Chain A
């Protein structure tokens, strides 16, 4: 799956978590812009993991602060 396709699928998965309807760009930050707390992060990560059949370990999550970084990580993890 290429980056654009991956991004489109993640954008769909993020929808129910984007309570305030924040506009999503590669620079959108999960904590600061989308205001995800730790519980939301857990549920959201599980959605992404199940959606792409991958593991995003806590170690990898620590490196992901914004949407663009998540898309890049998911592209990489799909191999």
Chain B
């Protein structure tokens, strides 16, 4: 042990934070232009699913994923208040110990009814649902074949597990098939897809992709976070809409979008699915959702089963906004509206941030999305519509975009 330092010696310290210097510098450069921090917005008061007070200004919300506007539904709120009174503020425990209440079983039943599937498992967040299911079912020697534009929670699930990870070009059926074909015979295969990709709001050709996956004997997991409640005749998502839900082995979803609260889930018809409750670490080693949250989720999910009028109105708003923004001269992420997400493509981060701020001054909140979260290093202003946006609000939004586009020099 001759290389130990003596009492009067010290080694130079390496700052573990120095790896973040490029990002710190990028933020400093952006904020030095005087632009409001797009990642530091505070909502002082939330008036409805579509309106909040931001910086003392009444602001239309167009970037909240609150697709079905369930956050202020009176039945949903009443259920939450009742559960707070009856079951308390939290469970203080894991689902497999003291953290399963009647409400947790009730919300899983509601999910089984909603998807018409045999099993449902509820996680504390959608992120954990992907993290847990993917890392647990695909193990050493197995292969995960996934779309390169997959959500961070899918990538992190891959990273946490021991499977070989093989990405393919976004929505490219041929690229996916080539990779499936090259996997050694006998290896377990999991194909991971999303119904709606949240950055550009485009959907996947699930019917064709799942048919190919099945041809090569792969199991299929589809993340329907951005389609639940809204796409498909019963709001079950893109797979339902394309008539291939029966071929999906695992559907991943979230309560933090259309359902209007927080939490994540996996539904499946796999006969051995229940064993996941014992082997899935992000399910076991965390506290379960508070009783009020599962009660609001149950009520909301059951109401979404019959929300066809709201679905129709949301589609109408999506078409109107897409058409209005295209007509105004903006470049959008998809040629036709494919979901409740409309992505407006910005020339670069600086002008994207300027445009974002100009919209905020107009009284409109959208998401500023930037690399590395975005495909092809794009800067996007991502709009997500809500079924509670009125036709009048949608027209107001188009007007705000047009004015802000001129202010920020995006439109001629």
Contact = CB atoms under 8 A, between A and B. Distances in A.
A25 interface: no
Interface stretch (B77-85, B159-167, B290-298, B313-321): B159-167
A55 B148 contact: no
Interface string A40-79: 0010001001100111011110000000000000000000
B332 interface: no
B348 to A, nearest CB: 16
A37 B143 CA distance: 25
A42 B165 contact: no
B373 interface: no
A42 B169 CA distance: 8
Interface stretch (B18-26, B176-184, B224-232, B246-254): B176-184
A54 B166 CA distance: 11
B175 interface: yes
Contacts of A50: 178
Contacts of A42: 148, 167, 169
Given A49-B182, A50-B178, A55 B166 contact: yes
Contacts of B182: 49, 53-55
A37 B179 CA distance: 22
A39 B165 contact: no
Given A38-B372, A39-B376, A39-B377, A57 B164 contact: yes
B169 to A, nearest CB: 7
The main secondary structure of chain B at its interface with chain A is mixed
Contacts of B158: 58
Contacts of B168: 46
Interface residues of A, number: 14
B169 A59 contact: no
A49 B182 CA distance: 9
Nearest to A60: B164
A50 B143 CA distance: 18
A46 B179 CA distance: 10
A60 B166 CA distance: 10
Contacts of A60: 164
Contacts of B183: 55
A71 to B, nearest CB: 19
Contact of A57 (B148, B165, B178, B372): B165
Contacts of A49: 178-179, 182
Interface string A18-45: 0000000000000000000111001000
Contacts of A37: 377
A46 B175 contact: yes
Contacts of A38: 372
Given A38-B372, A39-B376, A39-B377, A55 B169 contact: no
Interface in B181-239: 182-183
Contacts of B175: 46
26 contacts: A37-B377, A39-B376, A39-B377, A42-B148, A42-B167, A42-B169, A46-B168, A46-B169, A46-B175, A49-B182, A50-B178, A53-B182, A54-B182, A55-B143, A55-B164, A55-B166, A55-B179, A55-B182, A57-B143, A57-B165, A58-B158, A58-B164, A58-B166, A58-B167, A59-B165, A60-B164
Given A46-B175, A55-B166, 12 more contacts: A37-B377, A49-B178, A49-B182, A54-B182, A55-B164, A55-B179, A57-B165, A58-B158, A58-B164, A58-B166, A58-B167, A59-B164
Closest 4 CB pairs of A and B: A57-B164, A58-B165, A55-B182, A57-B166
Interface of A: 37-39, 42, 46, 49-50, 53-55, 57-60
Interface of B: 143, 148, 158, 164-169, 175, 178-179, 182-183, 372, 376-377
